[in-house]
Amino acid sequence: MAEYIKRRSVHSIIEQTGTLTFTRSKMHKQVDSLPTTDVVPVIRGSWNLLRHDRFSDVFQCSECGRKVSLTHGRDVLEQFPYCHCGAKMSAEGGSI
Ligand SMILES: [Zn+2]
């Protein structure tokens, strides 16, 4: 499993220690001592306009097919910035 650390923290170690006076093993030890962070990939989706009628707009999630209905004048991204499937929604295809 991959482990993630802050790039800034590594830069800070390099700045504090200098590369000429620090052995490779000490540098590895310093980097290994940094706290790791849990990272999950972001699933990106979009609300695609499925139907537009006199009273409402129906949008469908590009990732799972979930449908949401909004009255005219409401911003789908403001109401549903994330779908229930976890996808982070973008404006692509989400406006009329
Ligand atoms: Zn979805």
Into how many domains does the chain fold? 2
**32 and 48 co-located in one domain:** no
Same domain, 32 and 49: no
> Residue 22: which domain range?
1-36
Q: How far is the CA of 89 from the centre of ligand 1 (A)?
A: 9
pLDDT of residue 30: 84
Q: What is the per-residue pLDDT across 30-47, written as a single tens digit (0 to 9) for each?
A: 888 999 988 888 999 999
- The overall average pLDDT reported for the chain is 86
Interval between CA 75 and ligand 1 midpoint (Å): 17
Q: Residue 64 corresponds to which amino acid?
A: C
Quick check: is 20 in a domain?
yes
Quote the pLDDT of residue 28: 85
76 plus 52 within the same structural domain: yes
Instruction: Phi first, then psi: give them for residue 33, nearest 5 degrees.
Output: -80, -10
> Measured in angstroms, how far is the CA atom of residue 90 from the centroid of ligand 1?
12
Task: Report how far ligand 1's centroid is from the alpha carbon of 32 (Å).
Answer: 38
> Both 50 and 76 in a single domain?
yes
User: What contacts 58, CB < 8 A, 6 or more positions away?
Assistant: 49, 50, 51, 52, 67, 68, 69
What pTM was computed for the model? 0.63
If you measure from the C-alpha of residue 63 to the centroid of ligand 1, how many angstroms do you get, rounded to a whole number?
5
- Same domain as 32, residue 50: no
